[in-house]
Amino acid sequence: MHDFGLYIVMTSPELGYRDFTKLCVEMEVPFIQLRDKEMPFVSQLDLAKDLVAVCRGSKTRLIVNDSIELCRLSDADGLHLGPADAPWAEARRILPPGKILGVSTHSIEAALAMISQIRHPGEVKAPDYMSFGPIYPTVAKKIPDAPLGTEKLRYVIAQTPIPLVAIGGIFPHNIPEVLASGACNLCFIRHFASSATADELRTKIKQFYTILKETQS
């Protein structure tokens, strides 16, 4: 997998999951993730199937969070696993070929341990991307991890052989600082999910790409 730029996590978006996804497809957002830890599995499965249909044939890939079964039964494009979820190698063996697999790391020690596994994955294919964060303080979790900062981000980026996604407390005002660390892929949760209208979400996505272009020029 190559670097892709924008990754949006959907957790109870103001627009609703379907309208939010439709707008992301319209704007050709590369990756969106369904992440709702409060929703019952059956409801998540119905929702994931609907969102998969919305994304089908587009440039937007739908990733589901935590559950191998949710990914498999919904036929989502991929699965994202946290440290407390099933081991990534087990997920790779169970998931159909071609599914995207991402993993979270929340400390420099965890990131380096994951990189060691990625470099020596054994008989299974390594994860396709790794997230690292939170970079800045965040309230996206009930018990947030300690912020890691951009210097640690820079160090991990230099070590990892797969795309790295910077996550946690990222908003327009600090995007340039994150990009300056060498990050090519940025993940957002609250910034986009808080959009109250389609026009607001569309404007925020355009703003991200404008900042990205200006910073890289």
CATH code of the domain made up of 6-216:
3.20.20.70
Identify the pLDDT of residue 65: 96
Domain boundaries, the chain: 6-216
Sign of the dihedral defined by the CA atoms of residues 84, 181, 213, 173, in that order: positive
User: For 1, what's the count of Cα atoms within 13 Å in the CB-facing half-sphere?
Assistant: 25
Give residue-wise pLDDT tens across range 111-155: 999 999 999 888 899 999 999 999 999 876 667 788 999 999 999
Question: Which DSSP state fits 146?
Answer: P
Give residue-wise pLDDT tens across range 36-83: 999 999 999 999 999 999 999 999 999 999 999 999 999 999 999 999
CB 55 within 8 A of CB 62: yes
Identify the pLDDT of residue 121: 86
- Rounded Cα distance between 202 and 24, Å, is 8
Average pLDDT, the chain: 95
